[in-house]
């Protein structure tokens, strides 16, 4: 299988890119503050992936100008999913909602997220929730599922997943997947 080495190389590039960007913070510039920015708490973690919090009413123009091919919304329906779904209708930008709460999601939700990320590989993607914490958690889980070292994952996501429960969820996922891997090492 020639896909594994290339995927691992891609993953290492994502981690390296994310680590390089850590000192640069968000993309808000000038007088624009995080609360006024079209995309709250925006962080580019690779050339193709950005993590963010809520989108305001002018976010669509920014997303189109930045040529995002897809938006993955991790918010739950009460947080305004229907309105955002409507905002992207007819734009050519793929809108995907994968509702995630404030703790490590069930395996099926993680699988859906990972499959979606794999399907969109090579396209420019914006992943967001309300504040960016769930996004950081899911990005960390995704990187961990691809074999990234936990310490490097936590370094990349620490500016998005700032709440300890989100970081704990990443550590929990890493522990669960590592023990599952070691159990199957003799399979």
Does 12 fall in a domain?
no
Considering its fold, how many domains does the chain have in total?
1
User: What residues pair up with 51 in beta bridges, in sequence order?
Assistant: 43, 127
Cβ-contact 50, 125 below 8 angstroms: yes
Domain that holds residue 100: 35-181
Does 174 fall in a domain?
yes
CATH number of the domain to which 69 belongs: 3.90.190.10
In angstroms, rounded to a whole number, what is the distance separating the alpha carbons of residues 128 and 48?
A: 14
Does 3 fall in a domain?
no
Higher-confidence position of 99 and 11: 99
Q: Residue range 61-87: average pLDDT?
A: 96
Mean pLDDT for the chain? 83
Does 20 fall in a domain?
no
Rounded alpha-carbon distances, angstroms, from residue 33 to 8, 24, 65, 120, 136:
36, 15, 19, 30, 21
Does 91 fall in a domain?
yes
Does 86 fall in a domain?
yes
In angstroms, rounded to a whole number, what is the distance separating the alpha carbons of residues 52 and 41?
A: 5
In angstroms, rounded to a whole number, what is the distance separating the alpha carbons of residues 50 and 56?
A: 16
Does 7 fall in a domain?
no
- In this structure, of 97-101, 104-108, 126-130, 161-165, the range with the lowest mean pLDDT score is 161-165
Q: CB-based contacts of 65: which residues, under 8 Å, 6+ apart? A: none
Q: Count Cβ neighbours within 10 Å for each residue of 63-84 and write b for 16 or more, e otherwise.
A: beeeebebbbbbbbeeeebeeb
Q: What is the pLDDT of residue 73?
A: 98
Is pLDDT at 37 greater than 90 in this prediction? no
Higher-confidence position of 81 and 15: 81
Q: What is the pLDDT of residues 116-154, one digit of tens each?
A: 999 999 999 999 999 999 999 999 999 999 999 999 999
Higher-confidence position of 163 and 19: 163
Is pLDDT at 8 greater than 60 in this prediction? no
Does 127 fall in a domain?
yes
* Residue 178's pLDDT band (cuts 50, 70, 90): confident
Q: What is the pLDDT of residue 158?
A: 85
Q: What is the DSSP string of 27-93?
A: S--TT--TTTSSBTT-EE-SSSEEEES-B-TTHHHHHHHTT-SEEEE---GGGTHHHHHHHHTTSS-
């Amino acid at each position: 299988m020639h896909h594994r080495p290339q995927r691992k190389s891609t993953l290492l590039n994502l981690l390296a890119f994310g680590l390089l960007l850590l000192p640069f913070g968000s993309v808000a510039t000038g007088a624009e503050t995080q609360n006024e920015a079209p995309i709250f708490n925006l962080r580019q973690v690779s050339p193709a992936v950005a993590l963010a919090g809520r989108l305001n009413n002018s976010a669509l123009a920014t997303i189109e100008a930045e040529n995002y091919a897809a938006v993955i919304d991790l918010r739950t329906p009460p947080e305004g999913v229907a309105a955002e779904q409507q905002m992207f209708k007819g734009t050519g930008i793929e809108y995907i909602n994968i509702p995630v709460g404030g703790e490590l999601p069930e395996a099926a939700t993680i699988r859906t997220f990972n499959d979606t990320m794999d399907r969109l590989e090579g396209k420019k993607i914006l992943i967001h929730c309300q504040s960016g914490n769930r996004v950081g958690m899911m990005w960390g889980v995704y990187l961990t599922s691809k074999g990234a070292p936990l310490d490097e994952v936590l370094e990349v996501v620490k500016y998005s997943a700032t709440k300890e429960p989100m970081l704990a969820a990443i550590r929990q996922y890493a522990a669960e997947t590592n023990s599952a891997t070691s159990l199957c090492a003799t399979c």
